[in-house]
């Protein structure tokens, strides 16, 4: 009996030792992952610094002398150096706290504290890495995931939303766009704004691809041209500074306080108008040119754009379309959701909703539930979802 009891004590001690060793291994694994994360972030900063040391050479369309651009990029370099310094301090703090945690007698408590510490450190690192913004008079220069972006200083809502979203207002939409587009593809972006979707798509199509960008607003079109030059993408993007519609003509563009809300449809909050030319998409795309994707975001003018691209729709059976569905826009345009959906689905498309949080898509909800929606980006496909393996379905 005594021998059995002694053996039980030995086994219990061995079990406790194994648990302790396992906990220590888990802590050390977290330590390794944390340090790898630091290394990855520092590497990204080094890469960005190298890009700043060799800025794009196609800057002829920018509104400042090259010397001024170089000076302001030097200022951004100083900002990156400050971020790097901050992260070095955070890394040292992490090392010190890791050492203290590993010295504790209770590894399970240390593990819990380590996980909490990891979350705090990641949040701090994300903040320091994404905080680059430089005033340039009437524009703000932001570092975004797809390069550099000039944002109009007179549009504080856009600027604050971009800052809060780390440079991507519709991350789910961008994830869908980049899943659909491959190197060499041709894409049409109607309502291209300042380049929030143009930049990532242009990088995806590569130097052998092509993006036809359509943006009627004089302010936003000028900024888009500058952003393309700043990111070295003018060789693959053709910018048309007019509106897309059903037929050639002239119209008044209502300029909203938020520039991205400007519309050819009546806009109560518009503070002025601009006369713009209208051209159909069918006139911008050469007959026989293969178009993989069309993105349409025209604040209620989408049906007119749709009517002006019927040849492109007929000629490209594997065409994907990403279009904004906004009931408030339709109400101003005098179009019912039923009629809107009928026109867009008539050529054999099936509509899917884009989840802006994670980029997954799901079948469109019933029509009766759409009236309560503020805005949705819809993906229209004619081929079965299995033909697009890079898309993720909810």
How far is the C-alpha of 380 from the C-alpha of 316, rounded, in Å? 13
**Residue at 373 is within a domain:** yes
Q: What are φ and ψ of residue 237, in 5° steps?
A: -120, 130
> Do 107 and 214 sit in the same domain of this protein?
no
pLDDT at res. 181: 97
> Do 341 and 226 sit in the same domain of this protein?
yes
**Residue at 22 is within a domain:** yes
> Do 125 and 201 sit in the same domain of this protein?
no
> Do 73 and 171 sit in the same domain of this protein?
no
> Do 228 and 357 sit in the same domain of this protein?
yes
Give tens-digit pLDDT for 100-121. Answer: 655 665 656 655 665 665 665 5
Domain count, the chain: 2
Is 322 in contact with 378 (CB distance < 8 Å)? yes
Is 368 in contact with 336 (CB distance < 8 Å)? no
**Residue at 354 is within a domain:** yes
pLDDT at res. 57: 44
Strand, coil or helix: what is 295? strand
Give the other-Cβ count within 10 Å of 45's Cβ: 17
Give strand ranges (E) for the chain: 133-136, 139-144, 147-152, 186-190, 210-214, 237-240, 243-244, 249-255, 272-279, 293-296, 320-325, 350-354, 361-363, 376-381
* DSSP string across 28-70: HHHHHHHHHHHHHHHHHHHHHHHHHHS--S--TTSSS-HHHHH
**Residue at 392 is within a domain:** no
Question: Is residue 32's pLDDT more than 90?
Answer: no
pLDDT at res. 71: 46
> Do 44 and 183 sit in the same domain of this protein?
no
Give the other-Cβ count within 10 Å of 65's Cβ: 10
Residues 6+ apart with CB under 8 A from 46: none
> Do 104 and 194 sit in the same domain of this protein?
no
**Secondary-structure breakdown of the chain: helix, strand, coil percentages, each rounded to the nearest 5:** 50, 20, 30
**Residue at 67 is within a domain:** yes
Give the other-Cβ count within 10 Å of 84's Cβ: 17
**Residue at 368 is within a domain:** yes
Instruction: Please report, rounded to a whole number, the percentage of residues in the chain having pLDDT higher than 90.
Output: 47
**Residue at 151 is within a domain:** no
How far is the C-alpha of 118 from the C-alpha of 314, rounded, in Å? 53
Is 360 in contact with 383 (CB distance < 8 Å)? no
What CATH number is attached to the domain comprising 181?
Answer: 3.40.50.150
**Residue at 144 is within a domain:** no
pTM of the model: 0.70
In terms of Cα–Cα distance, which of 126, 143, 125 is closest to 134?
A: 143
> Do 312 and 194 sit in the same domain of this protein?
yes
Question: Is residue 9's pLDDT more than 60?
Answer: no
Last residue of a domain, one of 80, 97, 131: 131
Six-digit token pair at 150?
């000039």
Question: Is residue 162's pLDDT more than 60?
Answer: yes
> Do 7 and 64 sit in the same domain of this protein?
yes
pLDDT at res. 221: 96
Give tens-digit pLDDT for 57-84. Answer: 444 444 544 444 444 444 444 444 544 5
> Do 236 and 120 sit in the same domain of this protein?
no
Structural domain harbouring 224: 156-387
H-state helical runs in 54-106: 66-102
Give tens-digit pLDDT for 224-277. Answer: 999 999 999 999 999 999 999 999 999 999 998 888 889 988 888 888 999 999
């Amino acid at each position: 009996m005594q021998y059995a009891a002694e053996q039980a004590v030995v086994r219990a001690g061995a079990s406790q030792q194994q648990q302790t060793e396992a906990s220590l291994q888990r802590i050390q694994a977290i330590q390794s992952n944390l340090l790898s994360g630091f290394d990855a972030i520092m590497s990204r900063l080094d890469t960005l610094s190298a890009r700043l040391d060799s800025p794009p050479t196609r800057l002829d369309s920018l509104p400042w002398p090259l010397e001024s651009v170089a000076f302001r990029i030097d200022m951004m370099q100083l900002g990156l150096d400050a971020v790097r310094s901050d992260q070095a301090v955070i890394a040292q703090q992490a090392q010190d706290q890791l050492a203290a945690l590993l010295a504790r007698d209770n590894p399970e408590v240390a593990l819990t504290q380590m996980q909490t510490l990891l979350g705090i450190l990641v949040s701090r690192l994300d903040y320091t890495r994404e905080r680059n913004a430089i005033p340039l008079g009437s524009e703000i220069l932001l570092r975004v995931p797809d390069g550099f972006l000039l944002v109009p200083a007179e549009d504080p809502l856009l600027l604050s939303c971009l800052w809060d979203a780390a440079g991507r207002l519709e991350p789910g939409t961008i994830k869908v766009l980049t899943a659909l587009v491959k190197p060499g593809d041709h894409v049409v972006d109607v309502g291209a704004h300042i380049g929030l979707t143009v930049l990532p798509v242009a990088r995806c199509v590569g130097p052998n691809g092509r993006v036809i960008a359509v943006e009627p607003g004089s302010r936003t079109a000028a900024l888009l041209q500058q952003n393309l030059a700043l990111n070295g993408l003018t060789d693959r993007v053709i910018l048309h500074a007019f509106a897309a519609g059903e037929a050639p003509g002239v119209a008044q563009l209502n300029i909203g306080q938020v520039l991205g809300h400007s519309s050819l449809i009546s806009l109560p909050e518009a503070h002025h108008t601009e006369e713009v030319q209208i051209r159909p998409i069918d006139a911008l795309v050469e007959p026989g040119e293969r178009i993989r994707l069309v993105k349409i975001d025209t604040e209620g003018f989408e049906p007119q754009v749709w009517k002006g691209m019927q040849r492109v729709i007929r000629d490209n059976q594997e065409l994907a379309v990403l279009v904004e569905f906004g009931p408030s826009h339709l109400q101003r345009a005098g179009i019912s959701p039923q009629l809107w959906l009928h026109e867009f689905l008539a050529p054999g498309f099936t509509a899917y909703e884009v989840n802006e949080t994670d980029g997954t898509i799901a079948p469109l909800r019933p029509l009766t539930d759409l009236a309560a929606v503020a805005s949705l980006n819809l993906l229209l496909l004619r081929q079965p979802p299995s033909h697009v393996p890079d898309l993720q379905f909810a």
